[in-house]
Amino acid sequence: MKHAFVPPADLEPLQRHPKAAAPGHHIDLHHSTCFGCGDDVPLGLHLKVIAGDGLTVSADMPVASWMQGGPGVIHGGVLSAAFDEVMGTSPLLIGSAVVTAHLEIDFAEPIPLGSTLHFDARILGRQRRKVYIASVAHIGDPERPVASAHSIFVTIDVKEHFAEHYDKRVIL
């Protein structure tokens, strides 16, 4: 698939954390009211990200009618949010909490409502606090990706990062 993102050549390789979810297992929720993965939000993506081998994860997302952008197809922002969630969950494999600093999406084909998107994502490596991640999505044929994404996530101290906003969080 065409893309313009070039990760640095000198990325530091990363190791899976000994306590990371085992391959085939669901990686825990960010929190229950997260738009991307939370069980308690009525209108959310409800993504279940599954640990793969090494530094990989995967997820499936049925493309529901409320995700419509152009007639009969998924909205690009919804697709971007799904990539963000899948890639943003993967650093839990290395024991790091992260937030998105940079997210690039390449849209290769219109994605019809009613299809199921399958996402695969892979941690490429780190440079200081930056974790580089790549992801590809298909709707049935792994040889024919419909979209791909490249991102830079930055590791954070969760308590410190959210301290200013934590009191305004939504509890359902």
Ligand X SMILES: CCCCCCCC/C=C\CCCCCCCC(=O)SCCNC(=O)CCNC(=O)[C@H](O)C(C)(C)COP(=O)(O)OP(=O)(O)OC[C@H]1O[C@@H](n2cnc3c(N)ncnc32)[C@H](O)[C@@H]1OP(=O)(O)O
83 in contact with ligand X (CB under 6 A) = no
152 in contact with ligand X (CB under 6 A) = yes
HEC states along 3-65?
A: CCCCCCCCCECCCCCCCCCCCCCECCCCCCCCCCCCCCCCCCCCCCCEECCCCEEEEEEECCH
Q: Contacting ligand X (CB under 6 A), which of 77, 110, 114, 158?
A: 158
80 in contact with ligand X (CB under 6 A) = no
Q: Is 108 exposed, middle or buried (0-12, 13-18, 19+ CB in 10 A)?
A: middle
Q: Contacting ligand X (CB under 6 A), which of 18, 65, 157, 159?
A: 159
165 in contact with ligand X (CB under 6 A) = no
Strand-pair partners of 146: none
Binding mask 86-115 for ligand X (x = CB under 6 A): --x--------x-xxxx-------------
Binding site for ligand X (CB under 6 A): 30-31, 36, 84-85, 88, 97, 99-102, 128-130, 152, 154, 156, 158-159, 162, 166
